[in-house]
């Protein structure tokens, strides 16, 4: 499609969709009742009586309603499938032309990005889910869970440990009638209707978005930490604020298999505390005092975590003696961990 044709098509679509607040309210009211008068529209909505006539004539001009010039004037709903049929064809043609015009942008690798577009937030959510290699933490609405269900199922089948929080609890599907067993290692529900949308992959690549950002409200934003160590901020928030104030719906429990790989020390310790027997650890991290990156391995001789999940640490018996291991930005322990591997019989092999 030529450039002039594209411009004309865009202008035509923009004109057709030039809906103001009054047009949108009036149109939905007309669809609901099938046939209404101008005064009835004013009664059903908060549109001022003097504005009703201009509003319905605007809807009639773009072919969405029919006006019967009687006394009083009646407004009749048209079948949306017919009213929007020509627009659908125009949109299909327009999108094909825009695709030909489209140049894939070169996306940077900024450590932190702020986005305000609903489609962009959804795209990043999808990317975070797909990028997880071994650990994924999520706070989703039931609608988002349905949207990303196939991706979660695929990741879970690939062995990614998924911790899923769904809110508000009142809208959460009954576990007996759900497929939660095929979607996540642990599922929780939370009452709060303002619970933010969160996704953290492997403790690093993460997104935090307001609930409003996915409703189209004005207060919309999402923050992306692109494979950055700053991702632990979102992980900490998820662990200490959201996860601890939610009710467990289902969990793997004793079905956990080892060796397992963790991006957060809290989840590693929580799994060990719930199970009996001996554990061995391989820790990739750095010395708290010198900042030197290192790998330590040995038998886990102690694992502790507070009920609030704010403090968590491991004690590992290595060939050089015992070392204490904390999570990211640890200060009291010997080692700040980046990645933890836990095994049953011996320390797992470190990552390549």
pLDDT, tens digit (0-9, with 9 covering 90-100), for 34-51: 899 989 999 998 899 889
Q: Which helix (H) or strand (E) holds 92?
A: helix 85-101
Place of tokens 């797992």: 348
What value does the mean pLDDT take over residues 8-17? 68
**Three-state DSSP class for residue 94:** helix
Q: Which domains does the chain have, with CATH numbers?
A: 3-101 (1.10.10.10), 112-251 (3.30.870.10), 258-343 (2.30.30.690)
Closest CA to 116 of 231, 237, 216: 216
Query: Token pair of 310, please?
Result: 């704010």
Q: What is the pLDDT at residue 312?
A: 76
**Three-state DSSP class for residue 266:** helix
Task: List pLDDT tens digits, range 241-298.
Answer: 898 899 988 887 656 788 888 888 888 888 888 788 899 999 999 999 999 999 999 9
Q: What is the pLDDT at residue 13?
A: 66
Q: Between residues 280 and 305, which one has the greater pLDDT?
A: 280
Q: What is the pLDDT at residue 2?
A: 57
Percent of the chain topping pLDDT 70: 87
Choose the weakest-confidence range: 5-9, 61-65, 128-132, 264-268.
5-9
Taking CA atoms, 257 is separated from 75, 271, 275, 344, 352, in Å, by 65, 11, 11, 9, 21
Catalogue the E-assigned strands of 202-320. Answer: 205-209, 222-225, 247-251, 260-262, 280-287, 293-305, 312-318
Place of tokens 């989703």: 140
**CA angle (265 as vertex; 260, 267 as ends), nearest 5:** 65
Mean pLDDT of the chain: 84
> Which pTM value belongs to this model?
0.64
Closest CA to 144 of 238, 207, 95: 207
């Amino acid at each position: 499609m030529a450039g002039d044709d594209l411009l004309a098509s865009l202008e035509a679509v923009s004109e057709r969709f030039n809906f103001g607040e009054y047009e949108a309210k009036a149109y939905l009211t007309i669809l609901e009742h099938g046939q209404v008068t101008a005064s009835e529209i004013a009664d059903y909505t908060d549109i001022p009586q003097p504005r009703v006539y201009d509003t319905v004539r605007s809807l009639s001009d773009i072919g969405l309603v029919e006006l019967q010039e009687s006394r009083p004037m009646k407004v009749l709903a048209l079948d949306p499938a017919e009213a929007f049929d020509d627009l659908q064809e125009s949109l299909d043609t327009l999108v094909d032309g825009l695709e030909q015009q489209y140049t894939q942008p070169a996306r940077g690798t900024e450590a932190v990005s702020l986005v305000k577009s609903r489609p962009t937030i959804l795209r990043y959510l999808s990317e975070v889910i797909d990028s997880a290699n071994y650990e994924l933490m999520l706070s989703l609405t039931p609608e988002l869970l349905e949207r990303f269900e196939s991706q979660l199922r695929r990741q879970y089948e690939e062995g990614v440990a998924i911790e899923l929080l769904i809110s508000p609890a009142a809208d959460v599907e009954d576990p007996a009638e759900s497929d939660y067993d095929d979607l996540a290692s642990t599922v929780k529900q939370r009452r709060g209707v303002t619970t933010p949308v969160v996704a953290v992959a492997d403790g690093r690549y993460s997104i935090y978005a307001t609930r409003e950002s996915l409703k189209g409200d004005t207060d919309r934003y999402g923050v992306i930490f692109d494979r950055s160590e700053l991702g632990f901020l979102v992980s900490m928030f998820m662990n200490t604020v959201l996860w601890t104030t939610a009710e467990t719906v289902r969990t793997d429990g004793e079905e956990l298999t080892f060796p397992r790989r963790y991006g957060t020390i809290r989840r590693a310790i929580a799994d060990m505390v719930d199970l009996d027997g001996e554990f061995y650890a391989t820790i990739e991290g750095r010395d708290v005092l010198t900042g030197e990156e290192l790998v330590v391995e040995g038998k886990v001789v102690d694992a502790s975590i507070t009920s609030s999940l704010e403090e968590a640490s491991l004690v590992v018996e290595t060939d050089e003696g015992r070392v204490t291991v904390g999570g990211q930005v640890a200060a009291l322990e010997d080692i700040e961990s980046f990645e933890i591997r836990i095994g049953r019989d011996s320390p797992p092999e470190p990552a390549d």
